[in-house]
Amino acid sequence: MGERILIINPNSSVSCTAGIAAAVAGFSAPGLPRIEVTRLAGGPPAIVTWRDWFSVVEPLCRVIETEAADAYIIGCVSDPGLDAARAATRRPVLGMFRSAVTAALNRADRFGVIGFTGLSRPRHDRALQALGVGGRMAAWLPLELDMETLTDPVAPRARIEATAKALAAAGAQCIILGCAGMALHRAAAEQAAGVPVIEPAQAAVAAALVAVLAAREAA
């Protein structure tokens, strides 16, 4: 069957899951691990509160324990249950937000984040503190949209573009899309802001590919 990278969307949104799959479709090629995307059908519609965040930790771990893969990606930009998921397998487990921050800092000294809602900010701050790079964030601005609006190919576009412009004006030299539901809007945000825009699913898949391909050399 070959190598497999599994992206697990911890929310139940079909449109968000489809957006993730579309965002990473270009990373498939002969000789590379196949990339599959799944979702927690029993998960919340979106990871909005800490309660949502904690509620998906054990289901995520169970998927990892039962679905064989060479690397796993938690398909939410709040990185829910990352530490617990890493304890459930010896394979690499990557969080989208941490992957996106790393990718952003490979492109620029200061970055901005387009948040899903203001309730996401504490989880991002905790991750930035763990990475030791909180001082590199120029600004963090939320959209305050529901998931189904966010994943629409048209409805959130103007707000995402305006927010990207505001982050660039605040000094962000690179911008992170702070929710997997924004995947369809990366190119538009980049064109509006005039600075690189990082899509977290793509950043995480790129990191997972490095991990899996490096493991080939060690085998």
Quote the pLDDT of residue 148.
Answer: 87
Residue 218 has pLDDT above 90, yes or no: no
For residue range 85-140, what is the model confidence (pLDDT) as tens digits?
999 999 999 999 999 999 999 999 999 999 999 999 999 999 999 999 999 999 99
Quote the pLDDT of residue 195.
Answer: 98
How large is the average pLDDT for residues 54-65?
Answer: 97
> Count H helices, E strands: the chain?
10, 8
Of 82 and 184, more confident: 82
**Whole-number Å distance between alpha carbons of 83 and 89:** 11
**Whole-number Å distance between alpha carbons of 5 and 116:** 26
Q: DSSP assignment of 164-189, as one string?
A: HHHHHHTT-SEEEEESGGGGGGHHHH
Whole-number mean pLDDT of the chain? 94
Percent of the chain residues past pLDDT 90, beyond the cut: 91
Residue 2 has pLDDT above 70, yes or no: yes
Quote the pLDDT of residue 54.
Answer: 96
How large is the average pLDDT for residues 202-207?
Answer: 97
Quote the pLDDT of residue 216.
Answer: 86
Quote the pLDDT of residue 103.
Answer: 97
- Topology given in CATH for the domain delimited by 97-199: Rossmann fold (3.40.50)
Top-level CATH class of 4-95+201-218? Answer: alpha beta
Domains in the chain: boundaries: 4-95+201-218, 97-199
Quote the pLDDT of residue 217.
Answer: 75
Q: Give yes or no on whether 4-95+201-218 and 97-199 have one common fold.
A: yes
Q: How confident is the model at residue 30 (pLDDT cuts 50, 70, 90)?
A: very high
How large is the average pLDDT for residues 147-166?
Answer: 94
How large is the average pLDDT for residues 10-32?
Answer: 93
Q: CB–CB of 37/13 below 8 Å? A: no
Give burial (CB, 10 Å; 0-12/13-18/19+) of 219. Answer: exposed
Percent of the chain residues past pLDDT 70, beyond the cut: 99
Contacts of 37 (CB under 8 A, 6+ apart): 6, 7, 9, 17, 20, 21, 24, 75
Residue 80 has pLDDT above 80, yes or no: yes
Give burial (CB, 10 Å; 0-12/13-18/19+) of 136. Answer: middle
Quote the pLDDT of residue 180.
Answer: 87
Q: Which of 10, 178, 183, 180 is nearest to 81 (CA)?
A: 10
Structure tokens at 25: 């479709």
Residue 1 has pLDDT above 70, yes or no: no
Q: Which of 54, 44, 114, 43 is nearest to 82 (CA)?
A: 54
**Whole-number Å distance between alpha carbons of 167 and 105:** 16
Q: Which of 73, 11, 30 is nearest to 206 (CA)?
A: 73
pTM summary value: 0.94
Residue 33 has pLDDT above 70, yes or no: yes
Give burial (CB, 10 Å; 0-12/13-18/19+) of 216. Answer: exposed
Q: How confident is the model at residue 219 (pLDDT cuts 50, 70, 90)?
A: low
